[in-house]
């Protein structure tokens, strides 16, 4: 931007300089020739120099000011015209190439999130077009050097979409910072593809940062007519995802409290601390409420350190039954003024299994970590620090694994959440797809009009989420058995689950508790007669109150774990 600005300021300066020299030169010339001219005549003759027009009747030698001006003025014009032609040719060549290229991935915006995705797509051999504002036409952006093409234009314009070959693109990915812009633009492109791209299947990935807002839109069935399950005859589909929801999902998978210490049936209540006032902290609380069900069968306790009360109000406003699922402790104070003395008191009363630093600012997380190091606990404290800036000092250069009694685990939000395998390939959903595929043959009378009986690609968001959470919770059950997974060809002996053991029945109960948590957070309530429209279900009761027939569903979920693992190429062995 600075380079381009300097260039055109210099051109403007040289143009004005040539004009001033021309006025001075013509004045001297007319005086020497004893020709009377007023200032307006001189100004007009000076302007004509830019069009290479010079008054007749005068020959060299001319005043040096005029001699310089009559070369400089047209030179400025020629340079400007040359730059314009070059820009036009480059632009037209770029758009010509794009209009005929197939199977590109079009990404909107160029920010930290999209940069990591674009680079990963390029590494995987994809052809990428980036839609963003071009600040300097002479300077290549880093992603352009790696092979991406950057264009500038209106994504909602049919003409522009035609010019970049939008109807031939493979995927669109909307990653603007504003949720409403992403949704609005995605719908515009969806309507365009329905009309103009009827020869192939295209997917529009749309990011919504606020997962509570996303839940509200899903509850209102805002995306229903755009989802593939209701548009099976159309050639495109909108897939909406939340960075914070996906991040909390990966974060929980990697650093669930039981990854640090196995939680057994006789283990005390799980207690976690969360530091953060933003959407990621909010999403992690919801994740723990949905999946934090362990073999001890006790409510998980969450202590939230945060600034202001908006996050708590929003949580309990959107999930009024949240307190039925978790024990919640609210520590409201400015995080930059975090009090280690208060933390020490809480730690001594009931030690934390894990501390999540989920601040939106890396420097704030670093400041809290510095204070946590000064804790006076005689126990090891597991700390997970989420880092938002992939190029920051903590992300790139800080590799310390432990400080004093702090065991430190880094989680790079952008790197973990904005990669091809997590957004486009949906690798994180592999087990969820297996869970659903395993379920379909067990249906006695399959009805394709029923949402849960459809193939994964046509499955509604709610049922996809049910499969996802059952799949994600599988890791907790495996750890509760004192096991880990290894490749099938490993020499280690596979563990076979004893269906008559106490732990087997406990895990079936845990599975039921997890399902109840999901249903409650999705707005379902207990009632003697099931009513899907009214979200009423008779099985939202304690496990020991269930009929044996219903208990068998939960037992089957545990029994199926080894079978599903083998389909993924792994098996369970003792830790």
Residue 398 above 80 pLDDT?
A: no
Domain end point (choices 393, 417, 441) = 417
Range from 8-12, 18-22, 290-294, 463-467 carrying the lowest mean pLDDT: 8-12
Which two three-digit tokens encode residue 341? Answer: 């003395």
Q: Tell whether 552 is covered by a domain.
A: yes
Of residues 541 and 109, which shows the higher confidence score? 541
CA 63-69-71 angle, to 5 degrees, is 110
Contact in structure between 41 and 102 (CB atoms under 8 Å): no
158 and 219 co-located in one domain = yes
Q: Is 509 helix (H, G, I), strand (E, B) or coil?
A: helix
116 and 263 co-located in one domain = no
Residues of the domain holding 236: 101-241
pLDDT tens-place string over residues 37-75: 788 888 888 888 888 888 877 777 888 888 898 889 889
Q: Tell whether 17 is covered by a domain.
A: yes
255 and 316 co-located in one domain = yes
pLDDT tens-place string over residues 471-508: 999 999 999 999 999 999 999 999 888 988 999 999 99
- Provide the pLDDT confidence category of residue 137 given band limits of 50, 70 and 90: low
Helix (H) or strand (E) holding 423: helix 420-423
User: How many structural domains are present in the chain?
Assistant: 4
- Provide the pLDDT confidence category of residue 5 given band limits of 50, 70 and 90: low
Domain end point (choices 193, 219, 241) = 241
Residue indicated by tokens 């990935």 = 205
CATH, residue 326: 3.40.50.720
Q: Tell whether 94 is covered by a domain.
A: no
Q: Tell whether 95 is covered by a domain.
A: no
Residue indicated by tokens 């070059």 = 86
Q: What is the pLDDT of residue 194?
A: 83
Residue 76 above 60 pLDDT?
A: yes
Q: What is the pLDDT of residue 547?
A: 94
106 and 179 co-located in one domain = yes
Contact in structure between 210 and 279 (CB atoms under 8 Å): yes
491 and 565 co-located in one domain = yes
Helices (H), 445-547: 461-480, 502-521
Look at residues 128, 137, 84 and name the one whose alpha carbon lies nearest to residue 104: 128
Look at residues 211, 213, 219, 276 and name the one whose alpha carbon lies nearest to residue 249: 211
Q: Tell whether 159 is covered by a domain.
A: yes
- Provide the pLDDT confidence category of residue 198 given band limits of 50, 70 and 90: low
Domain end point (choices 373, 390, 417) = 417
| Interatomic CA distance for residues 189 and 414, integer angstroms | 26
Q: What is the pLDDT of residue 177?
A: 85
What's the rounded mean pLDDT across residues 75-80? 89
228 and 274 co-located in one domain = no
What's the rounded mean pLDDT across residues 23-40? 84
Residue indicated by tokens 């603007």 = 176
Range from 209-213, 287-291, 297-301, 431-435 carrying the lowest mean pLDDT: 209-213
Look at residues 311, 313, 259, 307 and name the one whose alpha carbon lies nearest to residue 281: 311
76 and 157 co-located in one domain = no
Residue 446 above 80 pLDDT?
A: no
**Cβ within 8 Å of residue 360, ≥6 positions away:** 276, 277, 278, 280, 388
**Mean pLDDT for the chain overall:** 87
Q: Tell whether 96 is covered by a domain.
A: no
Q: Tell whether 211 is covered by a domain.
A: yes
CA 488-493-495 angle, to 5 degrees, is 90
pLDDT tens-place string over residues 174-191: 999 888 899 999 999 988
Q: Is 459 helix (H, G, I), strand (E, B) or coil?
A: coil
CATH, residue 479: 1.10.490
Ordered DSSP codes for 115-148: HHHHHHHHHTT--EEEE---S-TTS--HHHHTT-
119 and 231 co-located in one domain = yes
Range from 79-93, 505-519, 555-569 carrying the lowest mean pLDDT: 79-93
Residue indicated by tokens 């792994």 = 570
CA 223-225-227 angle, to 5 degrees, is 65
Q: Tell whether 266 is covered by a domain.
A: yes
Between strands 300-306 and 354-357, the pairing is: unpaired
Range from 11-15, 93-97, 276-280, 472-476 carrying the lowest mean pLDDT: 93-97
407 and 384 co-located in one domain = yes
Range from 56-65, 101-110, 563-572 carrying the lowest mean pLDDT: 56-65
| Interatomic CA distance for residues 257 and 303, integer angstroms | 14
437 and 492 co-located in one domain = yes
| Interatomic CA distance for residues 212 and 319, integer angstroms | 9
136 and 229 co-located in one domain = yes
57 and 41 co-located in one domain = yes
Residue indicated by tokens 């980036």 = 130
């Amino acid at each position: 931007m600075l380079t381009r600005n300097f260039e055109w300021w210099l051109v403007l300066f040289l143009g004005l300089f040539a004009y001033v020299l021309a006025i001075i030169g013509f004045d001297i010339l007319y005086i020497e020739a004893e020709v009377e001219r007023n200032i307006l005549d001189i100004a007009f003759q000076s302007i004509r120099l830019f069009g290479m027009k010079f008054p007749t009747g005068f020959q060299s030698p001319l005043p040096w000011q005029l001699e310089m001006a009559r070369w400089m003025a047209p030179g400025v014009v020629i340079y400007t015209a040359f730059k314009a032609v070059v820009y036009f040719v480059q632009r037209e060549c770029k758009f010509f190439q794009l209009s005929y290229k197939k199977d590109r991935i079009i990404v909107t915006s160029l920010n930290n999130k999209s940069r990591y995705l674009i680079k990963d797509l390029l590494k995987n051999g994809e052809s990428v077009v980036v839609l963003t504002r071009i600040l300097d036409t002479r300077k290549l952006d880093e992603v352009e050097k790696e092979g991406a093409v950057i264009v500038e234009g209106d994504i909602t314009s049919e003409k522009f979409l035609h010019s970049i070959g939008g109807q031939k693109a493979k995927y669109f990915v909307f990653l603007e910072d504003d949720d409403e812009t992403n949704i609005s633009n995605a719908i515009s492109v969806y309507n365009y593809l329905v009309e103009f791209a009827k020869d192939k299947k295209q997917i529009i990935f749309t990011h919504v940062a606020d997962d509570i807002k996303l839940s509200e839109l899903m509850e209102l069935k805002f995306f229903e007519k755009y989802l593939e399950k209701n548009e099976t005859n159309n050639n495109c589909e909108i897939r909406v995802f939340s960075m914070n929801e996906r991040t909390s999902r990966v974060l929980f998978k990697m650093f669930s409290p039981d990854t640090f210490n196995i939680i057994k049936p006789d283990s005390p209540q799980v207690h976690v601390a969360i530091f953060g006032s933003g959407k990621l902290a909010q999403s992690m609380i919801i994740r723990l409420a949905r999946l934090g069900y362990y073999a001890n069968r006790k409510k998980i306790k969450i202590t939230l350190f945060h600034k202001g009360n908006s996050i708590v109000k929003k949580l309990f406003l959107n999930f009024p039954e949240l307190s039925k699922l978790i024990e919640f402790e609210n520590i409201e104070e400015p995080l930059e003024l975090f009090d280690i003395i208060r933390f020490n008191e809480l730690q001594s009363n009931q030690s934390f299994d894990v501390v999540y630093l989920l601040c939106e600012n890396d420097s704030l997380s670093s400041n809290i970590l510095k204070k946590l190091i000064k804790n006076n606990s005689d126990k090891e404290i597991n700390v997970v620090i989420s880092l938002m800036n992939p190029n920051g000092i903590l992300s790139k250069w800080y590799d310390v694994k432990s400080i004093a009694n702090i065991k430190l685990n880094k989680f790079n939000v952008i790197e973990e959440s904005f990669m091809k395998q997590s957004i486009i390939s949906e690798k994180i959903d592999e087990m969820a797809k297996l869970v659903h595929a395993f379920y379909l043959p067990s249906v006695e009378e399959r009805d394709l009009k029923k949402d849960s009986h459809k193939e994964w690609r046509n499955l509604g968001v709610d049922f996809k989420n049910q499969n996802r959470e059952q799949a994600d919770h599988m890791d907790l059950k495996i750890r509760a058995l004192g096991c880990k997974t290894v490749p099938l060809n490993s020499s280690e002996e596979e563990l076979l689950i004893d269906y008559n053991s106490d732990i087997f029945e406990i895990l079936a109960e845990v599975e039921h508790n997890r399902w109840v948590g999901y249903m409650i957070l999705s707005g379902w309530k207990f009632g003697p007669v099931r009513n899907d429209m009214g979200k009423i279900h008779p099985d939202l009761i304690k496990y020991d109150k269930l009929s044996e027939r219903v208990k068998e569903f939960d037992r089957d979920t545990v029994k199926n774990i080894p079978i599903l693992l083998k389909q993924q190429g792994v098996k369970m062995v003792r830790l």
